[in-house]
Structure 1
């Protein structure tokens, strides 16, 4: 990595030294070397401006070095955004991924008789508070699903599609959505507008109407990596509490082929992990800038974290799942994780890789990729196809 590379430590150190020198100059030299009155004001203004620019640049370089918003100067200046994305396939073809008997048949709708009164009439369900009966464009509601652990908050955001309140006997596929860290499920409302994008894709006949369930898997911005860590049992909570809660309270289809996971950044890891480790619950993943092995800080990984190498799991168990992976050539350690995972994928597992130039680790890129992922889901997975509605 060259000295002036955008993510280099040497550039960060150089800007830090310049920032410190600027503040020393502004504090110690400028007040003790006054010029004429007018030039004294100009000198002070220049000192404040230069120090502010350097301080902001230092903060940006430090955060970007960790978050990889931009991988290099070309990426930052927008040159790489003009390059077209490339697609690559690993393992089985997407349409042929679920080859086992239990995954081969299209998802079956839940029979009308199986819906409880609470499912058919969500306005009367005490588990679903805050529903606006007059909402015409779909809505997010907040629910609490106990069992996350003493350090958790057990909150879940649920998107009820526009047609949900009008069709009491209709079953819906489910998208389980995971935000990154720091962050929360509110990221799917703003800035991603996931519900609105889904409704738009439905109106254009690109995907079937679906429920979105976004559990808060990083309570208080604690990096759990969606695993069972001390004080917060996220994996157990999602698989043994949240999924059953959804099936009991919402008109969700029961077949795992009608359940997909979706996430960005650390949430992309969660989406990958839940589908690969729990194909009995989920059969499809949409992963944006995700990765394939946990990335705890040094000394914070719980016992058994090494068993979460998804490449090794996929190679050994060959789960009948589909994975749509959206990443950038400049995603650093996240891209390295994908490059290690991809060669280990074998049929019936299916991995579709969409690769963009530069970094994919920022909101505008995810906003654009989200619609692509939803369209892929509707085109590839029978349960999410508009024809299955």
Structure 2
């Protein structure tokens, strides 16, 4: 049974209940004096406590996804990429390109616990794949879900590469939060079907590449290279396995909480990889804490690295990147509201900033659920599609021009008028 599987969680919960019941039933018999009754009482207490702790630990891990597999828990991670073969017909086992070493088919990773996922022919409803992303440079291995829209499987789009949203969860949450609580693939599927969002490949990941440490999308000196993973390894891996755009204009980062912080950092520091970012309740600077350890190192070099991850400092002291950003906060209830307004007003050409400012909200899923749909629509308008038409020979009758590529949605070039993304919107 997988570490995040429901069957394991339910089995351990039942075992814990059995241990409690057995302890209550046996306790009168163990109340006598003597070595054996004392050992029996100690054994009953230990078994009961261990079973309860294991049940709670599995439930917490399934929710926050500190570890996605037994190997990851035991530290038996792969040291190098491995070849991947097509994984059959199952919902969770197939990968877009069996030749890729960098996107590996994985087990459910909790995807079997998510409700509302596409059910039916992929060319009608789309598909969600459970994979592992392998970093060519960093050697990091990160679990991921990949949403493929119905158009990805339709013959008229077979020559097209699709735009990509890299959606990053908060810390310590994992990809399950993106699929189950925020319903990223479910919302995207409905928006695409309604014509409010262009067909887009969405890859869902957690922000850390070295759990349980919070790496905050930073290249740590002599440590995990999280920024390199997201800015270089991830795009390379996706391009090796899926028909996705090769130009940065087809790539956008999207996240909430720590994932929102990562999204802004990735776009502003790596505009050659991402040209748009969505940050829901993200921060604008990265600082060390108990979960991160030392991210920047010591001395003057470490202080400079920390300053360069302060986005307000970057806007004041460095040329603004040519990217678009959507930031979200609440006037009441969100601690980052003041910094969000400073960021909006500090932005300068050629950077563009839009915002979703709620009258009231807090740092939790109920707030982000209000922002998800308009944020998905907004980022879709920033991404170019179709892009990088593949050179696939097409046989045609004499005198025929052959099939034409499908037309792009009117807003796909990112220059059309944007829809209103909130009841109140601050000027960008």
**Range class of TM-score, shorter chain:** 0.5 to 0.7
Structure 2 CA distance for partners of 1:150 and 1:198, relative to 1, 3 Å: closer
Deviations 1:214-262 (A, max 9, x none): 2332243421111123542110111221111112221111121111110
Query: Which of these residues, 296, 299, 302, is aligned with residue 302 of structure 1?
Result: 296
Query: 2:354 — aligned with what?
Result: 352
d(CA) in 1 for partners of 2:307 and 2:172?
23
Q: Are 1:386 and 2:394 an aligned pair?
A: no
**CA positional deviation for 1:128:** 5.2
Aligned residue for 2:202, secondary structure, equals strand
Q: Are 1:147 and 2:121 an aligned pair?
A: no
Query: Which of these residues, 222, 230, 242, is aligned with residue 213 of structure 2?
Result: 222
Aligned residue for 1:351, secondary structure, equals strand
Query: 2:199 — aligned with what?
Result: 209
d(CA) in 2 for partners of 1:125 and 1:151?
18
d(CA) in 2 for partners of 1:173 and 1:150?
24
Query: 1:329 — aligned with what?
Result: 331
Query: 1:122 — aligned with what?
Result: 96
Query: 2:244 — aligned with what?
Result: 252
Tell whether the 8 Å contact from 1:157 to 1:214 is kept in structure 2 after alignment.
yes
Which structure has more helix as a fraction of its residues?
A: 1
Structure 2 CA distance for partners of 1:324 and 1:307, relative to 1, 3 Å: same
Calculate the TM-score normalised by the size of structure 2.
Answer: 0.57
Structure 2 CA distance for partners of 1:151 and 1:245, relative to 1, 3 Å: closer
Query: 2:180 — aligned with what?
Result: 190
Runs (5+) with no aligned partner, structure 1 = 1-117
d(CA) in 2 for partners of 1:231 and 1:271?
21
Calculate the TM-score normalised by the size of structure 1.
Answer: 0.62
Segment of structure 1 superposing worse, 358-367 or 320-329:
358-367
Aligned residue for 1:164, secondary structure, equals helix
Query: 1:314 — aligned with what?
Result: 315
d(CA) in 2 for partners of 1:300 and 1:331?
30
**CA positional deviation for 1:159:** 1.4
CA RMSD in angstroms, aligned pairs only: 2.9
Tell whether the 8 Å contact from 1:148 to 1:233 is kept in structure 2 after alignment.
no
Deviations 1:112-164 (A, max 9, x none): xxxxxx9xx93644545369994442222232333389995432321112222
**CA positional deviation for 1:375:** 1.9
d(CA) in 2 for partners of 1:353 and 1:122?
35
d(CA) in 2 for partners of 1:241 and 1:145?
9
Structure 2 CA distance for partners of 1:335 and 1:151, relative to 1, 3 Å: farther
d(CA) in 2 for partners of 1:249 and 1:123?
5
Deviations 1:174-220 (A, max 9, x none): 00111001101222111111111111111111111100112332243
Query: 1:279 — aligned with what?
Result: 271
Tell whether the 8 Å contact from 1:122 to 1:128 is kept in structure 2 after alignment.
no
Aligned residue for 2:363, secondary structure, equals coil
Tell whether the 8 Å contact from 1:378 to 1:386 is kept in structure 2 after alignment.
no
Report 1:265-276 matches (<5 A): 265-276=257-268
Structure 2 CA distance for partners of 1:206 and 1:158, relative to 1, 3 Å: same
- The one of the two structures with greater contact order (alpha-carbon pairs below 8 A, sep at least 6) is 1
Runs (5+) with no aligned partner, structure 2 = 1-85, 87-94, 108-118, 298-304, 387-407, 414-428
Report 1:20-99 matches (<5 A): none
d(CA) in 2 for partners of 1:319 and 1:150?
26
Aligned residue for 1:253, secondary structure, equals coil
